[in-house]
Amino acid sequence: MRNSRIARNVAIATSVVVLAFFVLLVTAKPRGERGISTPLLGNPAPAVSSPVVGGGNFDLARRKGSWVVLNFFNSTCVPCRAEHPQLVAFEKNQSTQDNGVELVTVVNDDSDAAVAAFFEKNGGDWPKVTDPDGAIAVAFGVAKVPETWVIDPSGFVRLRIAGEVTNDFLSAKMAELQRELAAP
């Protein structure tokens, strides 16, 4: 009969579409591999100009020429506290290198006094930028702490990490990013 092949033909046509779909799904990159996505990636970092705990001012724009790692921190958040020793180690590591990375903490939804007290007790001698109305957090789009942002010497955002980091992980990522920038 003329119409006795319909099922077969429809099945074949469907297979072609499903195959294309399958390829699409298999080649899709999981989110993790690209770091947490942000439209700021590869774009100039938002302006950060704010007083520092203990006096002075921090201006991200004047940091051009060196890599800056921004760590959003809150003294009551347990993962932030857990991460802290790793950051201390990271900073120590970087300070022994030339062209070391600058580590800067941004206070997130916390009192400056509490942060100062925490750093006093647990070490960490780098600038702690205040953010009283949360403008910096909003500009970067930080919803949850801890978050770590890496900004390159030209002021562009290179990486955003949500959650705790370790010294090893961060150092490795920094090395990778620095290599990428150096090589054309």
Partner 1 sequence: MFSADAVEVAVNQGLAGPLGRGALLVGVIASAFGAVASIYAARESSHHDEARTARLIPRFAALVLFAAFAAITAMEYAMITRDFSLQYVQDHGSRSTPALYNFTAVWSALEGSILLWVLALALSCAAVVWRYRKKLNDPLIAWAMAVMFIVLAFFFLLSFAPANPFGVGAPGVTDGPGPNPLLQNHILVLFHPPILYLGYVGFTIPFAFAIAALITGRVGEGWLIETRRWTLCAWGLLTFGIILGGWWSYEVLGWSGVWAWDPVENASFLPWLTGTAYIHSVLVQERRGMLRVWNLSLLLATFSLTILGTFLTRSGVLNSVHAFSESDIGKYLIVFFGVIVAVSLWLIAWRGDSLRSPGSIDSPVSREGAFLANNVLFALFAFVVLLGTVFPLVIEALQNRQIVVGEPFFDQLSKPIGIAMLAMMSIAPVLPWRKASEEVLRQRLFWPAWCGIGTLVVSLLVGADGLAPLLAFTLGGFASGAALRQLVLATRRQGLRGLVGRANGGMVVHLGVILIAVALAASNSYTRSQELSLKLNTPAEFGGHVFELKGFENEKTDRLTAVKAIVQIDGGKSYAPAITKFVQMGNNIGTPSVKSSWRYDLYLTLEPPVKSESGEARIKVFIKPLVMWMWIGGGMMAVGTLLALFPGRRRRPTDAVSAHIDSGKTLNA
Partner 2 sequence: MKKLNSLPVWILMLLLTVGLLAFGTLRDRGPLTQQGRIDAISKQLACPTCNGESIYVSRAPAAEAIRNEIAREVASGQNSDDQIVAVIENSFPGSVLLPRTDGVESLIWILPVVALVGGLCVLGLVFRRWKNASLAHASDEDFAIVEAAFLKKNDVTDDENV
Footprint of partner 1 (CB under 8 A): 4-8, 10-12, 14-15, 18, 21-22, 24-32, 37, 74, 76-80, 143-146
The rounded Cα 42 to chain-centroid distance in angstroms is: 12
145 lies in the binding site for partner 2 (CB under 8 A):
no
Whether the ω angle into residue 132 lies within 30 degrees of 0, i.e. cis, is no
CB of residue 77 to partner 1, shortest distance in Å? 3
What, of partner 2, partner 1, none, does residue 80 touch, CB below 5 to 8 Å by kind?
partner 1
Residues 6+ apart with CB under 8 A from 61: 47, 49, 155
4 lies in the binding site for partner 2 (CB under 8 A):
no
Q: What interhelical angle do 112-122 and 78-95 show, nearest 10?
A: 60
Residues 6+ apart with CB under 8 A from 160: 35, 36, 38, 40, 41, 147, 148, 149, 150
What, of partner 1, partner 2, none, does residue 32 touch, CB below 5 to 8 Å by kind?
partner 1
44 lies in the binding site for partner 2 (CB under 8 A):
no
What, of partner 2, partner 1, none, does residue 26 touch, CB below 5 to 8 Å by kind?
partner 1
88 lies in the binding site for partner 2 (CB under 8 A):
no
What, of partner 1, partner 2, none, does residue 141 touch, CB below 5 to 8 Å by kind?
partner 2
CB of residue 171 to partner 1, shortest distance in Å? 21
137 lies in the binding site for partner 2 (CB under 8 A):
yes
On the 0-12 / 13-18 / 19+ scale of CB atoms within 10 A, 7 is exposed
